[in-house]
Amino acid sequence: MNNTTTIVLADDHSLVRDGIRALLEEDQNLEVIGEASNGEEAIDMVLEKNPAILIIDIRMPIMNGIEAVERLKKQHASTKCIILSMHDSEEYILKSVNAGASGYLLKDTGKTEFLKAIHTVQQGGKYFSGDISNVLVNNLLNPNKEAQTSAVVSKSEDTPFGLTNKELQVLQLVLSGLTNKQISEKLQKSKRTIETHRFNFMRKMGVKNLIDLSKKAQEFNLV
């Protein structure tokens, strides 16, 4: 009896795919049978190869990961999908779950948790890392959360530079004088996550230091 779990990887960075493949191939029960660099390729690859699991990044050209997962579920594909992302924003998490993802992991997830997530999903379960689970629990406990989430998404889309709600929150804390460590403690997020948000909003805003960041944030009424 073959107990091998077949996997397709989808990420627009070949180095990321190479790293994930190397990690997975250390487990004899896992086999990567295909790779894709965008959402459309991922769909084609899944329909052709019919893997047990698709591990897919959110932000990719042509079609993003959430759209690809949603499309596959509408086509009744049996492949289970795990979102792998550097973003822990509430909008992305809830959109991924609503699209039909069976798991959501951050790219700084450790090897042990990564493999545990894959095996959990393969066995029919769902897997969301700690911070992600908190978002889902809070959403379920708040009966008005769905409406609030829609409002947050709309607000995020209207924010200058396309900042997410979480990026805007971290931006404001940075400009209030807090360090990455202080922000991570305040928001109960890992320091690595805060650094990722900081890198993202500075890249989106086209600034390289705090002085320019402060000027541009004031110019666009972000603080």
Alpha-carbon gap, residue 217 to 69, rounded angstroms: 35
% of the chain surpassing 90 pLDDT: 43
pLDDT at 149 over 70: no
Specify the pLDDT at position 56. 97
First CA to last CA distance, the chain: 60
Specify the pLDDT at position 2. 65
Specify the pLDDT at position 57. 94
Average pLDDT, the chain: 84
Question: What beta strand segments (E) does 2-149 contain?
Answer: 5-10, 30-36, 53-57, 80-85, 103-106, 127-128
Alpha-carbon gap, residue 167 to 13, rounded angstroms: 23
Alpha-carbon gap, residue 87 to 194, rounded angstroms: 10
Whether 223 and 172 have beta carbons less than 8 Å apart is answered as yes
Whether 91 and 164 have beta carbons less than 8 Å apart is answered as yes
Domains, the chain, in order of start with CATH, read 5-137 (3.40.50.2300), 159-219 (1.10.10.10)
Reduced to 3 states (helix: H, G, I; strand: E, B; else coil), residue 51 is coil
The kind and range of the H/E element at 206 are: none
Alpha-carbon gap, residue 104 to 52, rounded angstroms: 16
% of the chain surpassing 70 pLDDT: 86
Tell me the mean pLDDT in the region 19-36.
93
Q: How confident is the model at residue 145 (pLDDT cuts 50, 70, 90)?
A: very low
Tell me the mean pLDDT in the region 149-175.
69
Alpha-carbon gap, residue 218 to 1, rounded angstroms: 63
